[in-house]
Amino acid sequence: MSFRFYKLLTCPEGRMKDTYIKKFDSVYGSEDSYYGIELRSEFTDYFKEKNINGFCALDLGCGEGRYSLFLAQKGCHVFSADRSSAGIRKLKTTAEMHHLPIRAEVIDIENFVFEENRFDIIIAATVLDHLYGQLRQTTINGIKKSLKPGGILYVNVFTVSDPGYKAKISAASQSSPENISDTAECMEYYFEENELKGVFGNLNILYYYEGVELDVSHGRPHDHGWACLLAEKPAETV
């Protein structure tokens, strides 16, 4: 498949949107957590000792809500948004069962209203790479706007080092390689080297990592090219 044809297939007009939603509804349909419950260590290492009781958090593209659940267990009030109704249903059930302060809603990020200085913590874990160009940019701007001064942002995305990217731009990709994720078909974009750091460059970067890692949490073992960022919005100067 040529790169140009791939771009046409993933056009922003949303020709593939229903397919992507169905794919996530289907993978979240089983009783187990599709991506597992483990979180990346840079996230847990940062938050485990922090007192975030009563903080207000946003988990964008929360899926089944593993990041939301961690924050809510630490007393954070979490707003969790995803366009997969199966993911949101599962998260609501878990949150109710454990009496956790999570408000989970089926929302397409296209329709999400980013209020200014609203959240102490924002999480966007492997979701910016699921958004087409213009929506990705407005979401990045929205995240920066909605994070309170002094607030913490955690983002991770897949990069051009991901085998899914290499397969999609390669004309030989029709023979599906063994080491790509089974949800790679829903990816709109793979970040360039250091791109994630660049787009949030006006925040104080606390942690940044890029690398390729083996993922055994779902489907057959496969690799992922990661970029992961923890950053703090500078306090307002008066």
Ligand X SMILES: C[S@@+](CC[C@H](N)C(=O)[O-])C[C@H]1O[C@@H](n2cnc3c(N)ncnc32)[C@H](O)[C@@H]1O
Task: Closer to ligand X by CB, 55 or 132: give it.
Answer: 132
8 Å CB contact between 196 and 171 = no
Q: CA-CA distance, 238 to 171, in Å (whole number)?
A: 55
Instruction: Name the maximum alpha-carbon separation found in the chain.
Output: 58
Binding map of ligand X across residues 90-129, x = CB under 6 A, - = no contact: ------------------xxx--------------xxx--
Binding map of ligand X across residues 122-161, x = CB under 6 A, - = no contact: ---xxx--xx------------------------------
- According to the binding rule CB under 6 A, does residue 63 interact with ligand X? yes
| Helix locations, the chain, DSSP H | 3-9, 17-27, 41-47, 66-73, 85-97, 133-146, 163-169, 195-199
Task: Closer to ligand X by CB, 87 or 163: give it.
Answer: 87
Of residues 176-235, those binding ligand X (CB under 6 A)? 183
Number of H helices, E strands in the chain: 8, 7
- According to the binding rule CB under 6 A, does residue 82 interact with ligand X? yes
- Residue with the closest Cβ to ligand X? 63
Question: Which is nearest to 230 in space by CA: 52, 41, 61?
Answer: 41
The least distance separating ligand X from the CB of residue 236, rounded to whole angstroms, comes to: 29
The least distance separating ligand X from the CB of residue 174, rounded to whole angstroms, comes to: 24
Q: CA-CA distance, 48 to 40, in Å (whole number)?
A: 12
Of residues 15-54, those binding ligand X (CB under 6 A)? 24, 35
Binding ligand X (rule: CB under 6 A), the pick from 57, 61, 90, 226 is: 61
Task: Closer to ligand X by CB, 69 or 202: give it.
Answer: 69
User: Candidates 5-13, 79-87, 161-169, 212-220 — which segment interacts with ligand X by CB under 6 A?
Assistant: 79-87
Backbone angles phi, psi at 134, to 5 degrees: -65, -40
Question: Which is nearest to 83 in space by CA: 139, 152, 164, 165?
Answer: 139
- According to the binding rule CB under 6 A, does residue 164 interact with ligand X? no
**12: β partners:** none
The least distance separating ligand X from the CB of residue 109, rounded to whole angstroms, comes to: 4
Alpha carbon 210 to chain centroid, angstroms: 16
User: Candidates 2-10, 56-64, 146-154, 204-212 — which segment interacts with ligand X by CB under 6 A?
Assistant: 56-64
Backbone angles phi, psi at 137, to 5 degrees: -70, -45
Which parts of this chain interact with ligand X (CB under 6 A)?
A: 24, 35, 61-63, 66, 82-84, 87, 108-110, 125-127, 130-131, 183
